[in-house]
Structure 1
């Protein structure tokens, strides 16, 4: 089978149709699946072919709306809802316990959820909110679910973890290791906090692929610039205007930036989750549905930074939770 060449215009539906055989029989968990977002679109197209799709979010009501919308279109879809608070270590552990109690293995874990770009705020664990929600919570969730992922591994299949990052990581100076454990409001800038979190996503994908020694393949990606409900938030508007993404009225500035619609915005995530051509490039960064490691800033591709971030984050979550390597 000759696989197509994907591009900026490719939609998630097109990718899922192309890889329908790869998706069949798979159990997939996706964080951040509220309607009108790329996580929902990712879940919708995968649900047409997968064995099970676990949709997650912080609101049971929103999850129910998402499930109903998917099942209205795909009546045969097997959907399960999971409430998770990624900004709370206890909340992450609670959600992981639910997944680990499930009888099925987990083939793909997609970290799509993200905190809004917002003023400085500490979580219940004393961490900066954006970094906690976008990096520390997903890191802990991945560690806790690693036995479930490893249970899906066969001689012919390697489970995957996908981190939705952003090209915005390159606008920052990389992860500031001095403030991870002890956030300093005096050093906080809301857009730079976002850039740091997205750098952390890329570094984690690199280190997870390296440390698992082929047991799990992890990828990060830039989904594109998409006008979602998170972008439309009032608290994020000023920062996005400063970046030139939004115009004076708070709407997309299409003269300066090429925007994707939601269908296009979810496409690279589905590629990262299922394209068999990626098997030979674990830890890769994707853009417009193809590997684009050359677009990663030096601070976010550095192996030493990746290893250091892993060590520091393990300390934050309380030490080793699960090894991501399982003897065979």
Structure 2
């Protein structure tokens, strides 16, 4: 990357935001998945110190209110807009997008952070497996519906951004199983495999979105690192995280692993959203707040797979994604 602040494993979200305060000022940003003790909350909290508007989302209105209050208590001047969003439901996604599209302000940055991680097999109302629906198909539809809002923020010197919070798990397994995506089968379901597939899909979507928009939108994906968040306290997740040695029998983080703090974990998201050095690197993958395309697995970066995933996802949502 070109000259500018050097970031590392220990860089915090506040440090990144301070470095790019001029890029954040005046911007309207939407962050999905902002419940307390989450990466999304930390991302929104830090951005809210400088941005014109931060839209926070969650499927539970009461928890969303707690996040709003926590940010406003720390940053009284913050302009926070809470948006109820259920990414596992096409109807829920459409309702939330319509609410944002009805407002006058453009949208400069969309951060697709929310995820249903390591959940038990369950079909959504639309007949999809919950993890792939919430982590990939829902964000794809949400991004598609908000694209006019994003394009409205473009200027001769600014290109709107879409950020997909992926994971190092994008490199695991063999990538997206299109049969599982279109025809979910509980007999073949694995929480870990579905998680890795969803995270691979995030990277592929960022690549294809950047390509198809032809310079109108810059999209990025990232691995935030290992962070002990509210995901680690969910009943569905604990057995998986214990099986891979991340969480002990006491439910606490296992010592000796390369854990990041919540603020260190959110740093890469803030960098992906605002670092001007990324302007000429659409579709890039970041880790430790720095471009790390070399860490992308072939199945998470293959252009043919990215194009196929885009077409299949358009078929699932029943409409074309146009710019």
Q: What TM-score, normalized by structure 1, do the two folds share?
A: 0.96
Secondary structure of 1:61's partner? helix
* Whole-angstrom distance in 2 between the partners of 1:5 and 1:79: 30
Secondary structure of 1:56's partner? strand
Query: What is the correspondence of 1:1-328 to structure 2 with a 5 Å cutoff?
Result: 3-255=4-256, 257-320=257-320, 322-324=321-323
**CA deviation after TM superposition for structure 1 residue 28, in Å:** 0.2
Matched residue count:
322
Secondary structure of 1:180's partner? helix
**CA deviation after TM superposition for structure 1 residue 111, in Å:** 0.5
Q: CA RMSD in A?
A: 1.1
Secondary structure of 2:231's partner? coil
Which deviates further from its counterpart, 77-86 or 61-70?
61-70
Unaligned runs of 5+ in 2: none
* Whole-angstrom distance in 1 between the partners of 2:26 and 2:142: 23
* Whole-angstrom distance in 2 between the partners of 1:239 and 1:169: 17
**CA deviation after TM superposition for structure 1 residue 234, in Å:** 2.0
Secondary structure of 2:227's partner? coil
Which deviates further from its counterpart, 172-181 or 217-226?
172-181
**CA deviation after TM superposition for structure 1 residue 179, in Å:** 1.8
Secondary structure of 2:127's partner? coil
Deviating above 6 A after TM superposition, structure 1's stretches of 4 or more consecutive aligned residues are none
Secondary structure of 1:172's partner? coil
Secondary structure of 1:87's partner? coil
Instruction: String of CA shifts for 1:85-144, please: whole Å, max 9, x gaps.
Output: 000001000000001111000000001100031221110111000000000000000000
Secondary structure of 2:259's partner? coil
**CA deviation after TM superposition for structure 1 residue 2, in Å:** 5.8
* Whole-angstrom distance in 2 between the partners of 1:65 and 1:319: 35
**CA deviation after TM superposition for structure 1 residue 244, in Å:** 2.1
